[in-house]
Amino acid sequence: MKIQVIIGSTRQNRVSEKPAQWIYEQAKTKPDLEVELLDLRDYPLPILDDPTVPMHAHGKYSDERVQRWSAKIAEADGFIIVSPEYNHGYPAVLKNAIDVLYPEWNNKPVGFMSYGTLGGARVVEQLRQVAVELQMAPIQRALHVPGPILMALMKPPEENVPIPFDMIIKQADGFLEQLAWWAKALKVAREQQEPVKPLFSPAPPAAAKKPA
């Protein structure tokens, strides 16, 4: 199964690269997973402004930057999103990267790795609600970066402080095992069944008026 690890922050001096790289390396050790690391800095997207809402765009977008992002996300069978907590919520750049697409996310599992106050727990709860609306399957397990790891991540690079990721190695194994199970199950389902249609369909075009 193809799993994409998405770095959910583009802020200068962000710390998300290191936990994303770590879970990426852990996922690569699993024989049934093919893993790719995606950085939102490499996909500078416009703020959602397409004339057609993504739910009804059928994977065709007016902006080539969004189309490139669409093609990449469509490749995946599942996702790991690494997100900080900013003011009890997720970064705007991450929400926009999610919102500019729709069918590319459908019927795929997602797991969250977060950090911040309370280990980013509030971010995970919010992102799970977003994922459900996108017809995704947010897995039950999540990786919340504990204080000692976060403190080490926030040290200046020149201090070369070791980061004790081993504290969450067992949690990571269970997290990846659950993600892989759902990725396999939903991949089979996608290949065998028609996709579920969105609840709201676009209004039919208005009939042309006959000349008087």
Range of the domain at 128: 2-192
Tens digits of per-residue pLDDT, 6-59? 999 999 999 999 999 999 999 999 999 999 999 999 999 999 999 999 999 999
Instruction: Specify the range with the lowest mean pLDDT, choosing from 83-87, 121-125, 157-161, 203-207.
Output: 203-207
pLDDT the model gives residue 48: 94
Residue 138 lies in a domain: yes
Tens digits of per-residue pLDDT, 93-123? 999 999 999 999 999 999 999 998 888 899 9
- In b/e form, how buried is each residue of 147-179, taking b as 16+ CB within 10 angstroms? eebbebbeeeeeeeeebebeebeeebeebbebb
Residue 31 lies in a domain: yes
Residue 114 lies in a domain: yes
138 contacts 111 by C-beta, under 8 angstroms: yes
Higher-pLDDT residue of 199 and 90 is 90
**8: domain CATH number?**
3.40.50.360
Residue 207 lies in a domain: no
